Amino acid sequence: MISTSVRMVRTVLIILFAAGLTTAAIASGVDISPDGLPDLLNDRNPARVAAIPVQDTTEADRDYYEFVENWHENRIERLHDDRGWLRLAGLYWLDDGEQSFGSGTYARVRFPEGSIPEMAGIFEVREDTVFMRVVGNIDIRDEQGHRVRDGIISTPEMTRELTYRTLYWFVVRRDDLVGIRLFDDNSPHLRHFDGIERYDIDKDWRVAARFEPGEQGATMLIENVLGQMIEWDVAGTLTFSAEGHEVSIVALGTGDRLFIPFADATSGSETYPGGRFLYIDRPAPGEPAIVDFNVSYNPPCAINPHTTCPLPPPQNRMPFPIRAGEKHYEMYQE
């Protein structure tokens, strides 16, 4: 089945990624002690934060610490949202043709046990269009509250949002893959969530970087946890010094907020093997960019296994430890 093979590819990629990073860190002489898609660039991203000028006064320190704590509280609230990552209950890749769905053993797309009748209907993929047929008297509704019996639920231009009791699902597309993303208000990841451990706030990890914009329309291919190479818009490079190294990392995106997937010498030990995420404000021309690692956070793949995430590109794998932001999260094992 596709879902099993994809999960194996994902696990191997993350392990290989972390192993490669660890080897690079050892080669550089760094001590790596073993202590640990909806759209990534939307306005609801929990890491959307305003730049705060670096100051040395005690009052400014208090303001900054409060800012980071407020950011973290907002981050946790977002995870608990109705469509937050903690409620994600499944990601099922579809084959061409028909496949049954329901909660029963014989359903090809198997929703959580008891969440929906054992045989609820059929998903069918025909070229780039997904159809759904409901069996029996199951009351599935769309985003407008209309009952759905038989019809198109997704094209490349449109996707319907469907609900049944505590469940909510829609079609997602990842390059050549088409699947069902399922949320459940009874998700075990939500029930078992007990917070995310963080490093102590350290102002030294709020660094000023030189930003060099990329060429208009520049893109690059970045691997994700499924092994796919996905094209991303390149905003430019950020150059800064830390831990005796000068590094230049890539920032992604075309808007005012720039996305930075990165890894460091803690990845795979103290932090998630697949790296962490960070957003920054695009600086004004001639101004430095503020890169604040205190608000770096775990990607969705560290929180829930039913997600797809980009891995940090080679340029963003730093050989020194960045002990700021979120630490490794102990995900609930289904």
Instruction: Read off the tokens for 3.
Output: 């879902």
Q: Which amino acid is at 310?
A: P
Give the Cβ contact number of residue 226 at 10 Å: 17
In the chain, what are the domain boundaries? Answer: 2-82+196-316, 85-184
Q: Look at residues 261, 247, 329, 314 and name the one whose alpha carbon lies nearest to residue 17.
A: 314
Q: Is the pTM of this model over 0.85?
A: no
pLDDT in tens, 271-328: 999 999 999 999 999 999 999 999 999 999 999 999 999 999 999 999 999 999 999 9
Q: Which CATH class is domain 85-184?
A: mainly beta
Strand partners, 317: 263
User: CB-based burial of residue 325 (10 Å sphere; 0-12 exposed, 13-18 middle, 19+ buried)?
Assistant: buried
More confident residue, 210 or 45: 210
As a whole number of angstroms, the distance between CA 47 and CA 155 comes to 31
Cβ neighbours of residue 270 closer than 8 Å, sequence gap 6 or more: 33, 34, 35, 36, 321, 323, 327, 328
**Is residue 126 scored above 70 in pLDDT?**
yes
**In percent, how much of the chain has pLDDT > 90?**
81
pLDDT in tens, 243-259: 999 999 999 999 999 99
pLDDT in tens, 147-171: 999 999 999 999 999 999 999 999 9
Strand partners, 250: 237
Residue written as tokens 């590094």?
247
Q: What confidence tier does 138 reach under pLDDT thresholds 50, 70, 90? A: very high
**Is residue 71 scored above 80 in pLDDT?**
yes
Q: What confidence tier does 10 reach under pLDDT thresholds 50, 70, 90? A: low
